[in-house]
Amino acid sequence: DTAVSQTPKYLVTQMGNDKSIKCEQNLGHDTMYWYKQDSKKFLKIMFSYNNKELIINETVPNRFSPKSPDKAHLNLHINSLELGDSAVYFCASSQVGEGKWAPLHFGNGTRLTVT
């Protein structure tokens, strides 16, 4: 009964390729996120999506594009992969309506390695 599941767990690919990471949550949350965790463990938000609104972090290259077919899914598509994209990507969800203390629920991460 995994609450937030993302696939694949590991992804190894070559520079220039296009890849996708999928995320699904079964918590009924209204908001989903993608975070990038770099080699120094620094966690940065990339996107958040709340039903009607996609909020994009302007520092994220436009090679990254989130796609949300419904509120339970938020997939991350990456075009023309670069070496610097190697990181662990975390999907998360929350119910924003629960108030400002509503916790995020994270998936287990996808380790992307670009060679």
Partner 1 sequence: GNSVTQMEGPVTLSEEAFLTINCTYTATGYPSLFWYVQYPGEGLQLLLKATKADDKGSNKGFEATYRKETTSFHLEKGSVQVSDSAVYFCALKVGTGANNLFFGTGTRLTVIP
Residues binding partner 1 (CB under 8 A) = 4, 31, 33, 40-45, 48-50, 53, 55, 57, 90, 92, 94, 96-97, 99-101, 103-104, 106-109
Task: Decide whether 72 or 80 has the Cβ nearer to partner 1.
Answer: 72
Task: Decide whether 12 or 15 has the Cβ nearer to partner 1.
Answer: 12
Give 62's strand partners: none
Q: Which string of DSSP letters, residue by residue, matches the chain? A: --SEEEE-SEEEE-TT--EEEEEEE-S--SEEEEEEE-TT--EEEEEEEETTEEEE-TTS-TTEEEEEEETTEEEEEE-S--GGG-EEEEEEEE-GGG-TTPPPEE---EEEEE-
Task: Decide whether 45 or 77 has the Cβ nearer to partner 1.
Answer: 45
Tell me how far, at minimum, the Cβ of 77 lies from partner 1, in Å.
Answer: 20
Tell me how far, at minimum, the Cβ of 34 lies from partner 1, in Å.
Answer: 11
Tell me how far, at minimum, the Cβ of 7 lies from partner 1, in Å.
Answer: 13
